[in-house]
Amino acid sequence: MGSRQFFILTFGLTVGTSILVTPSGLAATAREDAWLGGLAGYMINLGMAAMYIGLVKLFPGQNLFGMFEKAFGKWAGKAVSLLYFVYFLILAGTLLGNLGFFVTSEVLPDTPIDIVQILFLAACVMCAKTGIVVLARLGELMFPWILFFFMVLILALLPQIEWDYIAPVLEGGLGPVLTAGFHASMFQELIVMVVFVPQLASLRNWKGAFLGGLTFGHLLLVSVVLFSVLILGIEQSANSTFPAYALAKTISLGNFLQRIEGILIALWIMTFFLKTMMLFFSMMQGMKTILGLKSASYAVYPIAVVLLLVAWNTYVNSVYIGEVIQKVWGGYAMIHLVAIPLLTGASGLLRRRMKILSENAEPT
């Protein structure tokens, strides 16, 4: 896998489902300053990305699960790996449930949600059998189309902007902005990319690709949030389940170019697939490490079955998911995105220091 492919996969992971769900949460918390909340989330993610880069330097040649065994020992490391496997499983299952809910509520209301999820999961299984390199090449094919669709949306929405909708700026102070930024930053899960660093052909430019994908993805997200506020207004942005989709439905140029929300659906499905597959491959690597499998491909079908069960049982309805996101998910995600990586780095530094001291203490 090359640096450009790593950049695209990081971009897909950053955008993922966030393009549809994040704007409403930011608008509900930060109101007119929702776009500033998006920028605050970007700064928080930059800090987490710097921490992950430090972990890669501290444990060269190891993926995320290998780092845990190096830092905590074999069995404790497997226990931590199991925590991350469950985290990725819950996240991927919720994403699959989100896909089914969106498609059946907005696009294909007469289609059973189970059928939508099974068909999408079948595509995931096919991709998982081919390997991460094929996904990286698929990302290269998708990326120009993602940019094209995004530019069409932005240009078509420009005539509808109402600048009064983002005034006043910082009326509630920095508190709501930082709160909204914190919650938004918990949805990018950049630690997933650490799983795939050892599969890069060269580590020369990987940090630039990593940070570049993060930055470009956040640029797209902040743009969608800003346009949602500028066009839909605060109340509709905050109360809509999928404000970005509602935003696309407002496009009408001369009563000729209209009803092009399918463009947003295509953009979202492509980035959604990239993110889901990154989580799927991460779970495969995690199961390989935990169970000591010779090949991660053995885990494809068991993960697919469990993932479908999780999707059917976690995404009960949008109200329930909204409550979980507001009250539970931020703290739960922070354990995996910040707390455990910090402990892993501290343990790695301590082990390195003890090794240096023991080597210096040996008689010559």
Structural domain contains residue 344: no
pLDDT at 102: 81
Q: Is 91 within a domain?
A: yes
In a domain, residue 159? The reply is: yes
Instruction: Name, of 26-35, 81-90, 149-158, the range with top average pLDDT.
Output: 81-90
Q: Give the separation between CA 234 and CA 236, rounded to whole angstroms.
A: 6
Q: What is the CATH number of the domain that holds 33?
A: 1.20.1740.10
**Across residues 55-83, what is the average pLDDT?**
87
Structure confidence at residue 258 as a pLDDT band (50, 70, 90): low
Find the mean pLDDT for residues 191-211. Answer: 84
Residue 74 reports pLDDT greater than 60: yes
pLDDT digits (tens, 9 = 90+) for 95-143: 888 888 888 877 788 888 888 888 888 888 888 888 888 888 888 888 8
Sign of torsion over alpha carbons 14, 15, 17, 20 = positive
The total of structural domains in the chain comes to: 1
What is the rounded average pLDDT for all residues in the chain? Answer: 82
pLDDT for the residue numbered 297: 79
The reply to whether 347 falls in a domain is no
pLDDT band at 38 (very low <50, low <70, confident <90, very high): confident
Instruction: Tell me the per-residue pLDDT of 298-333, one tens digit each, with 9 for 90 and over.
Output: 888 888 888 888 888 877 666 777 777 777 777 888
Q: Which amino acid is at 335?
A: I
pTM over 0.85: yes
- Within-domain flag for 63: yes
Q: What is the rounded CA–CA span in Å between residue 269 and residue 134?
A: 18
Q: Domain of 210?
A: 3-318
pLDDT band at 180 (very low <50, low <70, confident <90, very high): confident
Residue 19 clears pLDDT 80, i.e. is over it: no
Token digits of residue 361? 């203490």
Q: 348 in a domain, yes or no?
A: no
Proportion of the chain above pLDDT 70, given as a percent: 95
- Res. 363: pLDDT tops 70: no
Phi/psi region, residue 315 (left: phi>0; alpha: psi -120 to 50; beta: rest), is beta
User: What does the buried/exposed string (b/e) look like for 264-278 if buried means 16 or more CB atoms within 10 Å of the residue's CB?
Assistant: bbebbebbbbbbbbb
| 239 falls within a domain | yes
176 domain residue, yes or no: yes
